[in-house]
Amino acid sequence: MDETGIRAIRALIARRKRWDLMFAVIGVMSLMIGILTFVTLFVDMIIDGAPRLSWDFVTNFPSRKPEQAGILSAWVGSTLVMIVTAATAVPLGVATGVYLEEYAPSNWMTDLIEINVTNLAGIPSIIYGLLALGVFVYQFGFGQSVLSAGLTLGLLILPVVIVATREAIRSIPAAIREGAMALGASKWQTTADHILPYSTAGIMTGVIIGMARAIGETAPVITIGALTFIAFLPEAPIKSEPPYLSFDWLLSGFTVMPIQMFNWTSRPDVAFQHNAAAAGVILVAMTLAMNAIAIYIRYRLRKNIKW
């Protein structure tokens, strides 16, 4: 190659490097804009809500007097709804993802299901609320209860869990399947003993994203009739006498943190705005704690896996 060709190649490489640097700078700037926006809003929320952050605020029921109002019923309701949501969406979503990726035949029906699952992830949450109002509240007779809310939010995050499960399974090297089957393992043994353990970390990522979305949703739970003011708690799931477990709380009325915040922000009194800010700080803390638990579980599972 002559000198002219070498110079042209060097110029092309230098131009490509400049483009790489430009895109890296744009990416960092975009990331910083998102992070700084969140930090600014969060810090402003902490400043407004700090005077109300106390143990009494966490353990008191809502009140018409802002200095006496608390979020006890709201955070308990959010916790119970998230338990139902996780118990509904995670097993069903993982099972669906495993079936579509490992067992479903390649035909037009499977393609149709895959398209619909992907499209469901983009449907506005209010549509899920209207569906739940007609099916869970009226058709099944669950009423305006924790169970209805949990099932609604479970449907909302179900497509996210399914897609995350399928992507995690696809990332497993084909050699693992081939090696297991070469040693005489059945399809189910390969899936249960190898595919699922190796893909659990990726599945947990989808669960984290879905649950973080569900805990902050307001439109679906408002649609099914969540209360904006509630001064009682659902019956405790665990009792001191036999049979020790109670499921009456599933059909109890409820409220959740986003609705409690919406109720306070709609009031003209500035003190209620401070209550809403304090509730927002606690809601973010609950979300981070829930994500931290899931990340820890993912870390432990990934650490125990030996490739």
3-state DSSP assignment of residue 185: coil
pLDDT band, residue 1 (cuts 50/70/90): low
What was the pLDDT predicted at 26?
A: 92
Digit-coded pLDDT (tens) for 185-212: 888 888 888 888 888 878 888 888 888 8
Q: Is the pLDDT of residue 305 over 70?
A: no
Question: Which residue in 208, 228, 175, 217 sits closest to 69, CA to CA?
Answer: 228
Q: Domain residues for 32?
A: 3-50
Same domain, 98 and 116: yes
Distance CA 98, CA 162 (A): 8
The domain that contains 289 carries what CATH number?
1.10.3720.10
CB 250 within 8 A of CB 258: no
Q: Is the pLDDT of residue 294 over 80?
A: no
Same domain, 60 and 120: yes
3-state DSSP assignment of residue 245: strand
Same domain, 96 and 203: yes
Number of domains forming the structure of the chain: 2
| Beta-bridge mates of residue 245 | 238
Same domain, 103 and 170: yes
What was the pLDDT predicted at 2?
A: 63
Same domain, 62 and 46: no
Same domain, 226 and 282: yes
Digit-coded pLDDT (tens) for 51-106: 888 888 888 888 888 888 888 888 888 888 989 999 999 999 999 988 888 888 88
Same domain, 103 and 22: no
Same domain, 138 and 14: no
Question: Which residue in 83, 252, 236, 69 sits closest to 151, CA to CA?
Answer: 83
Same domain, 235 and 102: yes
